Amino acid sequence: MNLKNKETQLFESLNKLDSIADLIKNSKEESSYLKKLSSQLEKEKEELNLKSKNLEQEKDSIINELKVFEQKLNNQDSGNRELVNKIDLIEKENQTIKDELAKTEAELEESRYKITETENINKNLKEEVNSVQSELHSTKEQLEQILKNKKMFVKKIDELSQETDAMLGEFDKW
The string of pLDDT tens digits covering residues 121-153 is 899 989 999 998 999 899 899 999 989 999 999
pLDDT computed for residue 79 by the predictor: 58
Residue 174 lies in a domain: no
Residue 147 domain boundaries: 2-165
Looking up residue 131, the CATH number of its domain turns out to be 1.10.287
More confident residue, 20 or 119: 119
Tell which wins on pLDDT, 150 or 23.
150
pLDDT at 78: 55
Neighbours of 143 (CB within 10 A): 16
Residue with more model confidence, 35 or 89: 89
Phi, psi torsion values for 50, nearest 5 degrees: -65, -45
**Which are the contacts of 69, defined by CB distance < 8 A and separation ≥ 6?**
83, 86, 87, 90
Task: Assess if residue 53 is contained within a domain.
Answer: yes
Higher pLDDT, 50 or 21: 50
132 belongs to a structural domain:
yes
In a domain, 173, yes or no: no
Q: What is the mean pLDDT of residues 17-35?
A: 77
Q: Is the pLDDT of residue 93 over 80?
A: yes
What's the pLDDT band for 96 if we cut at 50, 70, 90? very high
Give the closest residue to 97 by CA, choosing from 43, 47, 61, 49: 61
Q: Is 72 part of any domain? A: yes
- CA 97/CA 87 separation, integer angstroms: 15
Residue 118 lies in a domain: yes
Cα pseudo-dihedral 146, 151, 153, 156, rounded to 10: -160
Q: Does 170 fall in a domain? A: no
Which pLDDT band holds residue 73 (cuts at 50, 70, 90)? low
Mean pLDDT, rounded, of the chain: 85
Number of domains the chain contains: 1
Q: Is residue 65 part of a domain?
A: yes
Which of 174 and 108 is assigned the larger pLDDT?
Answer: 108
